[in-house]
Structure 1
């Protein structure tokens, strides 16, 4: 068990990391035509793109902590409470449209969503940057059919910092049937790896 002091220090470090990520998002996405990162994002080549390295962390059932807790709105206006995740494996993918690895992994995420949907597994995007039209354009382009949270204010991002901070975009988090963090992938995911992590969470 972690002491109260340890948990407070861990939360403080996590919130600081997430705050830096929120501040960095506009820089990474780019906002002017003269910004080389913006040009790279539009080109989709990913040069000098700052993101996670695809590292995977899986947590044993005894080390998953408490069920996650937050309530936030999807782009369609529906409010979703994390308490509704209980009884189902849930996948949260943090993304935004100007993120090259987010585009690269989009079709794999949709494919896995369709594969696991009959088992009751839920997928939610968590968009940390875009307005509704921009997010919708991305979803049309890549055929994404699962819903996304509109998280420009950081509600979901900061809530997750209490459990396992995303730290980069994209980040994918798998929750077990009790709503606890089962695994995290920092950066572009590998389809086979995420499939295995979902199956592991289903069995635990």
Structure 2
């Protein structure tokens, strides 16, 4: 009887995991090296946003960077790494928007979750990325800072923080169209 109950409980748990698309990608064994999001955009109403997110780290060039460096601006935070195909595909759009909003109320920062600094620098040179990235592979402290509110479950994940440093929107997976992120940024600046 105990064995049957244990097997039934295991089947229920495994069935619950099978309905999760991210879990399915992980267990399918495709060896693509990442779990891709589906491009879902989640906006969080101003009245429902949690506390501001505080984070700090060292960039690919060795500079110290923290959330306080962006106080008063909308901040776009992109979780990425160089071997991630969707990260490479969205890089030009992120750079274009970063340049467009430079000095206009929004800033960008990457959070590299896998690479060493030299790989990130090479990626930046290849895709003409001018905004900094925090190297988060050693301790995952930046990714951990976001887990209490809107965790970045897949790479890439792009978050828009409002002027108070609270998560206002999340794009889970590759940015499919720059106009989506552009709208999220404009809305956050207008608040």
Fold-level similarity (TM above 0.5): yes
Aligned residue in 2 for 1:122:
107
Q: Deviations over 1:145-183 (max 9, x none)?
A: 110000002010011102210000000000011111010
Q: 2-side partners of 1:124 and 1:145: how far apart?
A: 10
TM-score under structure 2 length normalisation: 0.80
Mapping 1:75-94, distance limit 5 Å = 75-94=60-79
Matched, 1:104 2:89: yes
Q: 2-side partners of 1:82 and 1:162: how far apart?
A: 16
TM-score under structure 1 length normalisation: 0.75
Q: CA deviation at 1:76?
A: 1.7
- The structure having more radius of gyration, on CA atoms, is 2
Q: CA deviation at 1:82?
A: 1.3
Runs of 4+ in 1 over 6 A off after TM superposition: none
Matched, 1:186 2:172: yes
> Which structure 2 residue ranges, 5 or more long, are not aligned?
1-25
Q: CA deviation at 1:36?
A: 7.2
Report the secondary structure of 2:169's partner residue: strand
Q: 2-side partners of 1:135 and 1:51: how far apart?
A: 20
Matched, 1:53 2:55: no
Q: Deviations over 1:9-46 (max 9, x none)?
A: xxxxxxxxxxxxxxxxxx9xxxxxxx974xx67xxxxx
> Which structure 1 residue ranges, 5 or more long, are not aligned?
1-26, 28-34, 42-48
Aligned residue in 2 for 1:201:
188
